[in-house]
Homo-oligomer: A and B are copies of this chain.
Amino acid sequence: MHLQSLLGIDLTIIQAPMAGVQGSALAVAVSNAGGLGSLPGAMLSLETLRQELTALQAQTSKPYNVNFFCHQPPVPDAARESAWRALLALYYAEFGIDANTIPAGPQRVPFDADTAELLRAFQPAVVSFHFGLPVPDLLAEVRSWGTKVLSSATTVAEARWLEAHGVDAIIAQGLEAGGHRGMFLSDDLTTQVGTFALLPQIVAAVRLPVIAAGGIADGRGVAAATALGAAGVQVGTAYMLCPEATTSAPHRAALQSEAARHTALTNLFTGRPARGIVNRLMRELGPINPAAPVFPLAGSALAPLRARAEGVGSGDFSPLWAGQNASGCKAVSAAELTRALGRG
């Protein structure tokens, strides 16, 4: 089945869900332009999620996607947390922060029964998952609404696993992609494959429609992905300068500078590898540091540093999520960008 009819969209352009830099406004704009807008649910409280879904429901009659994470909730480790804070001590000193006053902070929670219960009232056309899939009962419930389910594969093995476990289409997340690697069958970063190599191999390995993600910035990228067998594309980074995104000022500045040429996978901000523009923290601790607590616990200790730095316009301690191709970032409306990608 074509992706258009499967998902009920006019343009096979999926706006990538980007927790922390967008809410319902971006999703509404993309869906109303004929693409598939996405609401990132991973960092929202149930109350905020309800508000955002209500806003989506009110502002578009088109299909939209809601995205959730499917990680195992972590077991907090006090010794590891204090070692991590010790590593950050010189930064706390620099900003005059008392490390003992830092709260645990809100965390990303995996998709669970409470979320499914809330979602049932909205029954979105599409739900996408990252880091695999929820347990079978929860997945079956989502599918029982007629909701179409997507998830990301970073290897051929993950694509085959997703097909066997019941999704409607597979996102082939190439190594160029910004934000968290969706990897869930391995934590070995050498297994991660560039879009140009991953996409055709997943297309050949599964029968489901495959959505290309990673490095797609403009219409030429869409055409190239189509040539490699993609049924559609998922684009994130290019949307980050749109007025409907909530991207911070330092993040927008970095995306528009030469700094955006150099991204790296880093575990510093959450505990899981995710791609962002290299900044001071990544340079000084190394982008991958074994001291970072497990996902998603690493972020709490950084929160006050990030807040202080952003307060003076600096992204030194912020996750500046971005893919390896920021050349498509333009401060145009999400509708305009969606239509331009759709012409690809």
Residues of chain A at the chain B interface (Cβ within 8 Å)? 155-157, 174-176, 190-191, 193-198, 200-201, 204, 214-218, 220-221, 223-225, 227-229, 261-265, 278, 287, 323-325, 327
Contacts and interface: CB of A to CB of B under 8 A. Distances in A.
B223 A197 contact: no
A175 to B, nearest CB: 5
Contacts of A200: 217-218, 220-221, 325, 327
Contact of A190 (B157, B220, B221, B265): B265
Nearest to A203: B220
B216 A227 contact: no
A222 to B, nearest CB: 9
Contact of A324 (B194, B223, B262, B287): B194
15 contacts: A157-B261, A174-B194, A174-B196, A176-B196, A176-B197, A190-B265, A194-B194, A197-B217, A197-B324, A197-B325, A198-B324, A200-B325, A204-B327, A221-B228, A224-B225
A193 B227 contact: no
Contacts of A278: 190
A3 to B, nearest CB: 18
A245 B221 CA distance: 33
B174 A287 contact: no
B190 A215 contact: no
Contacts of A227: 220, 223-224, 227
Contacts of A196: 174, 176, 194-196, 214-216, 221, 224, 325
